[in-house]
């Protein structure tokens, strides 16, 4: 059974879900999600011989929500993972992330390779630092209409999403899934309308996303969305903070999985990066795994395929399990 508790790490308290014994696997959710987005992974990974831990990351769910926007930088987020691994009594772990959890996983492997046995990212490819700050680059490219820039406006998206949390989440999860019509468009926002204006509110939820899932997700945002949105408000600051790692590569064994209907791998520059990953990543264990017909919610839309790929990756060879 999955058990829940609070853990002190990096000066804050994180709520975690955990189950199993064996090498530690840390599962990191994205936006707007919670530990529950990994509920399909617990059973198979535990059965495969792993100790599985999924936190609500800072600003989410029952974990602490610091007030300061600057408290959500990538260094804070990596620090939370490093501290969590230590607090769980381990020196090393496998780190797996989806959406925003993927940059946290990739950067944990980049900044602390000594603590990462292997790293897997879903949806968001590895963090090769661009030539310009990302918010500034998207502001210039899309005239301020890219959703990152909309999220960067203090209080605006916070209020829109909190107005009717359940409806907002239902629209978001359906509209960027593989079940929604494929518009092929970048996620641009008309400022006077808001992010949700062009999203569809489905009459029936997709088979992979139940009313119970929506209940759990809605409850996890009872404290609002500001902590989660503060991650986006640090995008340019993260670019500044990671300058020492410009052109650095992730060296631990790595896996990348994405859906061909996910808008994130189609962001400007992402398709070219994904095509080059086998050359750029020295320990990428297989070519990027593209899931046909899968949208953004990779491990929820395609749990069987994701679980099979993760288990194959985590148990692939002598590198996967340390001696003793």
Active site residues per annotation: 99, 296
CA-nearest of 136, 121, 157, 151 to 255 is 121
Specify the length of the chain in residues: 324
Burial of 299 (0-12, 13-18, 19+ CB in 10 A): buried
Task: Give one DSSP letter per residue of 19-58, joined into a string.
Answer: E--SSEEEEE--TT--GGGGHHHHHHHHHTT-EEEEEPPT
CA–CA separation, 17 and 15 (whole Å): 7
Q: What are the contacts of 185-191 at 24+ separation with CB within 8 A?
A: 186/142, 186/146, 186/263, 186/266, 186/267, 186/268, 187/146, 187/147, 187/263, 188/142, 188/145, 188/146, 188/147, 189/145, 189/146, 189/147, 189/149, 189/150, 190/145, 191/144, 191/145, 191/150
Burial of 44 (0-12, 13-18, 19+ CB in 10 A): middle
CA–CA separation, 168 and 317 (whole Å): 43
Q: Answer whether the bond into residue 167 is a cis peptide, omega within 30°.
A: no
Local structure of residue 126 (DSSP, 8 states): P
Give the dihedral sign, CA 319/7/154/167. Answer: positive
């Amino acid at each position: 059974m999955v058990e829940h508790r609070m853990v002190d790490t990096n000066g804050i308290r994180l709520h975690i879900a955990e189950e199993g014994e064996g090498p530690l696997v840390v599962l990191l959710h994205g936006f707007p999600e919670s530990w529950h987005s990994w509920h399909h992974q617990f059973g198979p990974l535990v059965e495969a011989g792993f100790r599985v831990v999924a936190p609500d990351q800072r600003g989410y769910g029952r974990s602490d929500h610091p007030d300061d926007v600057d408290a959500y930088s990538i260094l804070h987020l990596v620090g939370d993972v490093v501290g969590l691994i230590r607090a769980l009594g381990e020196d090393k772990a496998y780190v797996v992330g989806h959406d925003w959890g993927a940059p946290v996983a990739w950067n944990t492997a980049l900044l602390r390779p000594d603590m990462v046995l292997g790293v897997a990212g879903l949806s968001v490819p590895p963090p090769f630092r661009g030539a310009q700050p990302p918010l500034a680059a998207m502001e210039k490219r899309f005239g301020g209409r890219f959703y990152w820039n909309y999220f960067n406006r203090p209080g605006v998206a916070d209020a829109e999403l909190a107005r009717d949390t359940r409806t907002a989440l239902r629209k978001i999860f359906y509209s960027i899934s593989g079940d929604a019509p494929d518009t092929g468009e970048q996620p641009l926002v008309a400022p006077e309308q808001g992010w949700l204006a062009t999203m569809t509110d489905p009459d029936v939820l997709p088979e992979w996303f139940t009313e119970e899932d929506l209940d759990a997700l809605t409850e996890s945002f009872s404290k609002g969305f500001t902590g989660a949105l503060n991650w986006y408000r640090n995008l340019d600051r993260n670019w500044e903070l990671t300058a020492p790692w410009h052109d650095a590569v992730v060296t631990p064994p790595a896996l990348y999985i994405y859906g061909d209907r996910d808008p994130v791998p189609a962001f400007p520059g992402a398709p070219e990066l994904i095509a080059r990953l086998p050359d750029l990543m020295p320990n990428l264990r297989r070519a990027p795994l593209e899931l046909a017909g899968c949208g953004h919610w990779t491990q929820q839309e395609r749990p069987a395929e994701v679980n099979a790929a993760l288990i194959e990756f985590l148990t692939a060879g002598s590198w996967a399990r340390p001696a003793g």
